[in-house]
Amino acid sequence: MDLRQLRYFVTIVETGSFSKAAQRLHVAQPALSQHVRNMELDLGVELLFRSSQGVVPTEAGETLVRHARLILSQMEAAREAVRGSEGQPEGDVRLGLPGTVSQMLCVPLFREARRLYPKIRLRVAEAMSGFVLDWLREDKIDVGVLYRFGADRSLQARRVLSEEVCLLGPAEPIDRPHPPPGTVSFAALASLPLILPSPGHGLRDLIEARAASEEVSLSTVIDIDTYGQIKLLVEGGLGYSILPRAALREEMAKGSLRAWPLGVPLLSRDLHLVRPADRPARRAVRVIEDLAFATLVRLVRDGVWPATLAEEAPPARAGGDLE
């Protein structure tokens, strides 16, 4: 096997299709198929399961793609180290973002990256924090922006900000009086019908952990993971919810939702920039990580993102609290 074959194989797995991989790599599809057959003959195992829906890696293929990503990343880091710091950083940088972060960060980050680093190609994938964390561990992305972040010595993180998580309800009471103005205690939640992300979602875990610490039993009437649908259900008077204040800007401005501070101390969650600590980071990855950090800080300072900035400290090994 050589580096070209490894790069081809990783692209086939990422796209799930020989034809899509051929388009991305600008290589004829029969040539890609032949490369994979040669690799399978060389290794003596089947690497891909082929069906009418596309291709997925076998167990042996999953093992190979993990090692291939690491090898390709190390080779790119070696090239950059040999070339030195002269010239513009270049290459692909893969960024993993939760959907709510992507809405705030993508446009200003892409704009600045294109202006400052025209030779870098940003590739962004969206998912919940738990999936982004898995992608980091599997070397599917170079940098992740996470709320949910537990102890993992293979990762290093920078805490960027802390955002308030608040109670929200419809603009006008429907079948019950609204809570009074001011901070709502967790004890008061026990009597409210709640629309929350499903169990296992990082925000739901945060809410339930706080409720358990205060010995409060929550009454959840609908489980749904999409913030947009949660807000529509609350607007329709089907219940209350608990979401980051940053996710409510448009609805609060229109007056379609009301929000109350929640808990004493106020419920909040931290945002981290995370990347692997067990392999060298290419220069392009480092500059995009720094640019993402600076962009997030600017969004907070400009009042676009209602949050409190963390102290600007150097990266620390993992060990932060979950959301």
**CB–CB of 290/116 below 8 Å?**
no
**3-state SS record for 223-255:** ECCCHHHHHHHHHCCCCEEEEEHHHHHHHHHHC
Backbone angles phi, psi at 44, to 5 degrees: 75, 20
- Give yes or no: residues 74 and 99 share one domain: no
What pLDDT, on a 0 to 100 scale, did the predictor assign at position 82? Answer: 67
Quote the domain boundaries for residue 111: 88-159+270-317
- Give yes or no: residues 51 and 199 share one domain: no
- Give yes or no: residues 44 and 188 share one domain: no
What one-character DSSP code corresponds to residue 209? Answer: H
Q: Considering the domain boundaries, does residue 254 fall inside one?
A: yes
What pLDDT, on a 0 to 100 scale, did the predictor assign at position 99? Answer: 87
Q: Considering the domain boundaries, does residue 9 fall inside one?
A: yes
In this model, does residue 317 exceed pLDDT 80?
no
**Confidence band, pLDDT 50/70/90 cuts, at residue 316:** very low
Task: List the structure tokens of 179.
Answer: 């809570």
**CB–CB of 251/241 below 8 Å?**
no
Nearest to 146 by CA among 243, 274, 244: 274
What pLDDT, on a 0 to 100 scale, did the predictor assign at position 320? Answer: 39
Domain count, the chain: 3
pLDDT digits over 204-262, tens only?
A: 999 999 999 999 999 999 999 889 999 999 999 999 999 999 999 889 999 999 999 99
* CB neighbourhood size of 23 (10 A): 13
pLDDT digits over 93-127, tens only?
A: 999 999 889 989 999 999 999 999 999 999 999 98
**Separation of alpha carbons 128 and 146, rounded Å:** 8
- Give yes or no: residues 155 and 166 share one domain: no
Whole-number Cα distances in Å, 134 to 62, 139, 193, 274? 14, 9, 33, 12
What pLDDT, on a 0 to 100 scale, did the predictor assign at position 314? Answer: 40
Backbone angles phi, psi at 108, to 5 degrees: -65, -30
Backbone angles phi, psi at 241, to 5 degrees: -145, 175
Backbone angles phi, psi at 120, to 5 degrees: -95, 135
What pLDDT, on a 0 to 100 scale, did the predictor assign at position 313? Answer: 37
pLDDT digits over 162-178, tens only?
A: 999 999 999 998 888 99
Task: List the structure tokens of 272.
Answer: 């981290």
In this model, does residue 312 exceed pLDDT 70?
no
In this model, does residue 279 exceed pLDDT 90?
no
**Separation of alpha carbons 98 and 130, rounded Å:** 9
In this model, does residue 185 exceed pLDDT 60?
yes
**Separation of alpha carbons 280 and 298, rounded Å:** 28
**CB–CB of 185/210 below 8 Å?**
no
Q: Considering the domain boundaries, does residue 322 fall inside one?
A: no
In one-letter notation, the amino acid at residue 266 is L
SS3 199: coil
In one-letter notation, the amino acid at residue 75 is M
**Confidence band, pLDDT 50/70/90 cuts, at residue 183:** very high
Q: What is the mean pLDDT of residues 178-197?
A: 94
Backbone angles phi, psi at 76, to 5 degrees: -65, -40
Q: Considering the domain boundaries, does residue 71 fall inside one?
A: yes
Q: Which of 47, 81, 115 is the last residue of a domain?
A: 81
Q: Report pTM.
A: 0.70
- Give yes or no: residues 33 and 59 share one domain: yes
What pLDDT, on a 0 to 100 scale, did the predictor assign at position 85? Answer: 56
19, exposed or middle or buried, with CB in 10 Å at 0-12, 13-18, 19+?
Answer: exposed
**CB–CB of 129/204 below 8 Å?**
no
Q: Considering the domain boundaries, does residue 323 fall inside one?
A: no
Task: List the structure tokens of 71.
Answer: 């090898």
In this model, does residue 323 exceed pLDDT 50?
no
pLDDT digits over 12-36, tens only?
A: 998 998 999 888 888 898 888 898 9
**CB–CB of 156/316 below 8 Å?**
yes
- Give yes or no: residues 274 and 153 share one domain: yes
Q: Which of 81, 97, 131 is the last residue of a domain?
A: 81
- Give yes or no: residues 130 and 50 share one domain: no
pLDDT digits over 34-74, tens only?
A: 989 889 888 999 999 988 888 999 999 999 988 888 888 77
- Give yes or no: residues 32 and 43 share one domain: yes
- Window from 128-132, 143-147, 191-195, 227-231 with minimum mean pLDDT: 128-132
